[in-house]
Structure 1
C-alpha cells in the first residue's frame, strides 16, 4: 500500500487546549523530564533494529488507516515511534505530558507536530484522528486512569478509526506489578502496571473500541515479561 504525502495539520487537530502541561501526573511528568536526554541517548531516535515484532505491528497499524488520515501518538515521549510512522508516510501529531520529552521530540523529529497534554484529557478536537497510538504509554496508569484514557481515545478517533496499544502483560492490572526506582541513569519513582490482555480488551470495549487483532510476544533477554499489542476499531 502506498501513502499520500503528509499534509499540514489544521489548527483544531494540533490543539484545542493550553500547551502548558496539566496539573495531574506530576510524578510521572517529573520523572520523564529528568530522564529525557538520557532516554534519547540510550534508546536512540528510531526503532531498534531488533524490534521486529514492534515494527511489524506498526506496519499493520499504518496500513489499516484511512488514506490521508492523521495519527495521534498519545504519550509520544521523545517521538521515536512518531518519527517511524512519519517515515512510513503517515501524518502524525504527538502528545505527551512531559515538557522535557517534548523538547527532545521536537528537536529530533522536526517533521512531526507535538503538543503538551494529559492522555485523560487530550488537547485534540473530537473525531479528528484516523488512528491513535498508545505505545506503552498506559503502563504507569491505574485502571481508573486507563478507563478515562479509553474514553478520550474513542472521542478523538473518527468513526471506524484504528487504535493500537502496546503494553506489558501480567496476571493482575489492578495494582502496580513493580515500582521503577532507577532508570536511564537517574532516580525516578514510577509504578509499572502489567495487565491481562482480556481485561484490557474489555475495558476498551466499554468505550466502543472493538478488538480486531492481538499479538503477545513472550519474554526475551531485553524484556523479561510478555508484551502485548492490540489493534482495535472505534465503532462506526
Structure 2
C-alpha cells in the first residue's frame, strides 16, 4: 500500500505539472516570510529543494545568488523546473541522491505530506545526513492527523495520497533525526500548514 501510494501520487503530479505550476506561482505572505527567514539563516554553500515540483522556490533561491538545485520524483515536474533553469535530479525524497554532508541548506515544502507515515523517521535521518553540521532545514507540511487519498482539484479525476502530522509528532521525529528546531508555527490556507526551521546538530 505504501509504495502504491507513492507511485500513484507521482503519476498524478506528472499529469498536472503545467497546471500545478501556474496555480502555485503566487504563495501567500506567511509563506513568503518563512522562505525569507530560511534564506537569511543559511550558511554559505549549496541548497537542495526536495520535492521541488515546478521549481518555484529553487528559482527564487537562485535569483538571490544561492546555489540551489531541485530533487523531485515526478519527471513531469522536473521538466517544468528544468525549463526555468533549475538544475534538477530525479529522485525519491525519502532517499535523496545527495552526497553526505554536502548541503548548507535543505528546503522541502508540501512534499513530506506525501511520504508514508512509516517512512518519516528514515526520511528525516536521510535529510540530516545530507546536511553539514549547522546546516539549515526549512520544512512545511500538512498539520493534522490521519492519512488518505484526496482528489487533485486541478480539473482531473486523479488523486494524491496525503499524510498529516501533528506538531508534537513531527517535532519529536525531527529531534530523533538529529535536528534542533529553532522555529515552528501554523498557518492556514486551503489546509493547515506546519512550518519548521531547524539546524542539524553538531556531531
TM-score calculated relative to the size of structure 2: 0.92
Deviations 1:99-149 (A, max 9, x none): 000001111x21x21100001111111000000011111112222222221
**Compared CA separation, residues 196 and 24, structure 1 to 2 (3 A):** closer
Distance 2:121 2:198 in 1: 15
Alignment of 1:50-65 (within 5 A): 51-65=28-42
Please show how residues 106-121 of structure 1 align to structure 2 within 5 Å: 106-107=82-83, 109-110=84-85, 112-121=86-95
Question: Which structure 1 residue ranges, 4+ long, deviate > 6 Å from structure 2?
Answer: none
Question: Which one has the bigger helix percentage?
Answer: 2
Secondary structure of 2:81 counterpart: helix
Cα RMSD (Å) of the superposition?
Answer: 1.8
Partner of 2:199: 233
From 29, 53, 60, the equivalent of 1:84 is: 60
Aligned residues: 200
Aligned twin of 2:106:
132
SS of the residue aligned with 2:152? strand
Corresponding position of 1:97: 73
Q: 1:228 to 1:113 in 2, by over 3 A?
A: same
User: Separation in 2 of the partners of 1:182 and 1:52?
Assistant: 24
Aligned residue for 1:139, secondary structure, equals: helix
Work out whether residues 75 and 134 of structure 1, in 8 Å CA contact, stay in contact via their aligned partners in 2.
yes
Structure 2 unaligned runs (5+)?
A: none
Of the structure 1 ranges 180-189 and 129-138, higher mean CA displacement relative to structure 2 is found in 180-189
Indicate conservation of the 8 Å contact 1:151/1:207, yes or no. yes
Q: CA deviation at 1:193?
A: 2.2
Higher-Rg member (1/2): 1
Report if aligned partners of 2:94, 2:115 keep a CA contact under 8 Å in 1. Answer: no
Contact 2:137 2:199 survives alignment (8 Å)? yes
Give me the whole-angstrom Cα distance separating, in 2, the residues matched to 1:135 and 1:228: 10
Alignment equivalent of 2:11, drawn from 30, 38, 47: 30
